[in-house]
Chain A
Amino acid sequence: MDDEQMWLIALINELKQESRSFVDQAFFMGLETMVNEQVTRLEQNTGELDGRIWNPKRWG
């Protein structure tokens, strides 16, 4: 996870800890889960892109 995403998660966590209601807490917890899924998908898709760009079949 890069710095930008770690900073984003930290910011969401700050708001989660400051939450006064159960719904607010649930919202920021769900938001964090969604961002973690974004990060996973960004990493997977970047990996797939790299793999396809460096496909040896396309060399020569």
Chain B
Amino acid sequence: MKTLIIVAHPNFEDSATQQFLQHNYPQEDVTWHRLTDQQIDVGHEQALLQAHTRIIFQFPLYWYSMPAILREWQDLVLTAGFAYGRGATLGAKEFGIVVSMGQPVAEYQAGGKEEYTISELLKPLQAMAHKLNWQYAKPLVISQFQYMTVHQRLQLVMQYHQYLTQVGTGFDAQQAWYCAQLQKRIKASDDSEVQAKLKLILAQIQANTDELTELHWTVDMIRDAEET
């Protein structure tokens, strides 16, 4: 699976959040594509969409919406006959949003300072995904990055990696993702001691996963028997 991150930020160089994400995104199978002031090359943008399975819009929330450049990109790139409508060549995609904001996320709810929820404010993008037959994922919301502790930033990096590359959602998907990451690290490591440790960790995590699956199965079986 390949992921395309479309980054839209008018002051990219001054954004600590965007700089942080750029420095820490997973390089393998992920394309970082920043929209700049230069004219949008429609053919190139459409080819990028064709070449990726998961499309991410990454932007700061400006006046409860996306920055103008991303809005312009939508108009120019997501055309009838390409993205939707008769003869559309762009197939189904997975679609995610990485949205950052300066206010606490708790204010985005009825009665909060911002009054409306993130889900409500992002409705136009949800409608876009619906129109294009793109599967809409729960957005990754980054609120008040500047106040995050190192621990929170470390957590954010892994949330971001999973958001970009994990297949499926839920704990089973998360376990599978970590196992796949460990396997990649085993292959990539040139330190035999580290490699040995990673192998031991992977084996124990897989044993835990198998045990959990078996326990679920047994509990479900007893529960079914009790209810019939």
Contacts and interface: CB of A to CB of B under 8 A. Distances in A.
Interface of A: 4-5, 7-8, 11-12, 14-15, 18, 22-23, 25-27, 29-31, 34-35, 37-39, 41-42, 45-46, 48-49, 52-53, 55, 57-58
Do most interface residues of chain A lie in helix, strand or loop, or is the interface mixed? Answer: helix
Shortest Cβ-Cβ A-B pairs, 4 listed: A30-B158, A26-B157, A45-B215, A26-B154
A38 B215 CA distance: 12
A24 to B, nearest CB: 9
Contact of B171 (A15, A22, A37): A37
Contacts of B174: 34
Given A26-B24, A27-B181, A29-B155, A12 B212 contact: no
Interface of B: 23-24, 26, 151, 154-155, 157-158, 161, 171, 174-175, 178, 181-182, 185, 194, 197-198, 200-201, 204-205, 208-209, 211-212, 215-216, 218-219, 222-223, 226
B175 A34 contact: yes
Given A8-B204, A26-B154, A42 B215 contact: yes
Contact of A11 (B158, B200, B215, B223): B200
